[in-house]
Structure 1
Amino acid sequence: MSQQTTSRGSGSAGPNPWAAGGSVFAGVLLLVDGLINIFKGIAGIAEDDVYARLGQYVFKFDVTSWGWILLILGVVLLATGWGILSEAAWARGLGVGLASLSLVLNFMWLPYVPVWAIVSIAIDVFIIWALCTDRPSRSH
Structure 2
Amino acid sequence: MTAQPHSGAPSGSYGPAPTRNSPWATGGATFAGVLLLLNGILAIFQGISAIAEDDVYAHIDDYVYKINLTGWGWILLILGVIAALAGVGILSGATWARAVGILLASLSLLAQFLFLPYAPVWSVITMAIDVFVIWSLATYRPAAASP
Return the TM-score normalized by structure 1: 0.88
Give the superposition deviation at 1:93: 0.4
Give the aligned residue type for 1:41. Answer: G
Is residue 59 of structure 1 aligned with residue 65 of structure 2? yes
Equivalent position to 2:40, from 34, 38, 43:
34
Percent of aligned positions that are identical = 54
**Pair 1:69-2:75 in alignment:** yes
Of Structure 1 and Structure 2, the greater helix share is in 1
User: Do residues 100 (structure 1) and 82 (structure 2) align?
Assistant: no
Counterparts of 1:1-140 in structure 2, within 5 Å, are 1-2=8-9, 5=16, 15-47=21-53, 49-140=55-146
The number of residue pairs the alignment matches comes to 135
Q: 1:51 to 1:14 in 2, by over 3 A?
A: closer
In 2, distance between residues paired with 1:62 and 1:33?
22
The Cα shift of 1:78 comes to 0.4
Runs of 4+ in 1 over 2 A off after TM superposition: none
Contact 2:20 2:143 in 1 (8 A): no
CA drift of 1:138 comes to 1.7
Return the alpha-carbon distance in structure 2 between the equivalents of residues 93 and 14 of structure 1.
18
| Structure 1 unaligned residues grouped into runs of 5+ | none
RMSD, aligned CA: 2.0
